[in-house]
Amino acid sequence: MKFAAAFALLGALASYAAPAKRAVTDTDILQYALTLEHLENAFYHQYLGQFDQAAFKKAGYPDWVRNRIENIAEHEAQHVALLSGALGSAATQPCTYSFGVTDPASFVATATLIENVGVSAYLGAASSIVEKAYVTVAGSILTTEARHQAWLYSSVDKGPAWSGPEDTPLDFDEVYSIASAFITACPSSNPTLPVKAFPALAIAQDGTITTSASTDGAFVQVIAGLTTNTFPVVNGKVQGLPTPQGISYAVLTSQGNTTLVGDDNILAGPMIFNYPFNSKQSNPAPAF
Ligand SMILES: *[C@@H]1O[C@H](CO)[C@@H](O)[C@H](O)[C@H]1NC(C)=O
């Protein structure tokens, strides 16, 4: 489900229940959230273990950077404990992962993107949560993930602490697609979530698309804050692709009408765009 504008929300929600997929329950949502938290927890645990303070220093980071990443790692471990406690015996167990991180700088860069996806995941799931108390729990995690992302993006990388006036919601399948690119194997005893992963999507700066999905007659939908729009793909190249400020997302879809783009017509993606912007630039809601 995408949001062409805030006003499209109700219409989009009404159409969201239509596909044959089984309805998403609160247990599914908690398991989905725990799947992401396990990923984040494993990510920080692995690379803090791999890169000590000396490695960070050698990469040019002051001591407080790694120290505060330790804080973040503690938070992710607490999120795992919180959701595992709520799920009890239905708790999802951690998978094994491959993140492609090679040094402290790529650790920080990947952390920034993973935290941003975390924000988009909780934001996108919020409207599907039935039990009010879970909304507060999910919200408290969401805002904390946003603080992590903002700190990494601004204090550490000297960029903006935000992407624009609104953050970007992503739906279950979109988030799961990004997460599953990092997952190598999961315990077979894990619950089967009502989500699927789309094939990977890469778009070069000149618009050339690389994906296993067919691009014939396809469109690229760009998702930036609450703004979405579609751009036609001609001969494997997307036409007129915008460069929204900060971090945004794109999917390949067979649907040209952006308000109708959803899991049933997404062909590949999301791809993550990252365009940090200068402090002298204004930062309105994206318009494209
Ligand atoms: C896109 O789909 C929406 C929802 O069905 C519809 O209201 C709108 O008219 C469509 N836009 C175009 C340009 O066809």
Considering the domain architecture, whether residues 29 and 111 belong to the same structural domain is answered as: yes
Considering the domain architecture, whether residues 154 and 248 belong to the same structural domain is answered as: no
Considering the domain architecture, whether residues 169 and 207 belong to the same structural domain is answered as: no
Last-in-domain residue among 185, 219, 242: 185
Considering the domain architecture, whether residues 144 and 243 belong to the same structural domain is answered as: no
State the Cα–Cα distance between residues 92 and 260, nearest whole angstrom.
32
Give the pLDDT of residue 15: 41
Asked, for residue 168, whether it belongs to a domain, the answer is yes
Give the pLDDT of residue 12: 39
Q: pTM for the whole thing?
A: 0.91
Asked, for residue 210, whether it belongs to a domain, the answer is yes
208's tokens: 């050339």
Considering the domain architecture, whether residues 67 and 23 belong to the same structural domain is answered as: yes
267's tokens: 């062909």
- 259 in contact with ligand 1, CB cutoff 6 A: yes
- 260 in contact with ligand 1, CB cutoff 6 A: yes
Considering the domain architecture, whether residues 238 and 119 belong to the same structural domain is answered as: no
AA letter at 69: I
Give the domain range for residue 62.
4-185
Considering the domain architecture, whether residues 49 and 163 belong to the same structural domain is answered as: yes
Considering the domain architecture, whether residues 173 and 245 belong to the same structural domain is answered as: no
Tokens 């890169």, residue located = 51
Considering the domain architecture, whether residues 73 and 156 belong to the same structural domain is answered as: yes
Q: Whose Cα sits closest to atom 1 in ligand 1?
A: 257
CATH assignment at residue 219? 2.60.40
State the Cα–Cα distance between residues 225 and 116, nearest whole angstrom.
12
Considering the domain architecture, whether residues 9 and 143 belong to the same structural domain is answered as: yes
Residue 166 burial (CB < 10 Å; 0-12/13-18/19+)? middle
Q: Whose Cα sits closest to atom 13 in ligand 1?
A: 257
Considering the domain architecture, whether residues 246 and 159 belong to the same structural domain is answered as: no
State the Cα–Cα distance between residues 101 and 277, nearest whole angstrom.
24
Q: Which atom of ligand 1 is nearest to the CA of 260?
A: 2
Averages of pLDDT over runs of 10 residues in the chain (288 residues) are: 40 41 88 98 98 98 98 98 97 98 98 98 96 95 98 97 98 97 96 95 97 98 98 98 98 98 97 97 97
State the Cα–Cα distance between residues 258 and 255, nearest whole angstrom.
7
Give the pLDDT of residue 23: 82
**What's the number of domains the chain is made of?**
2
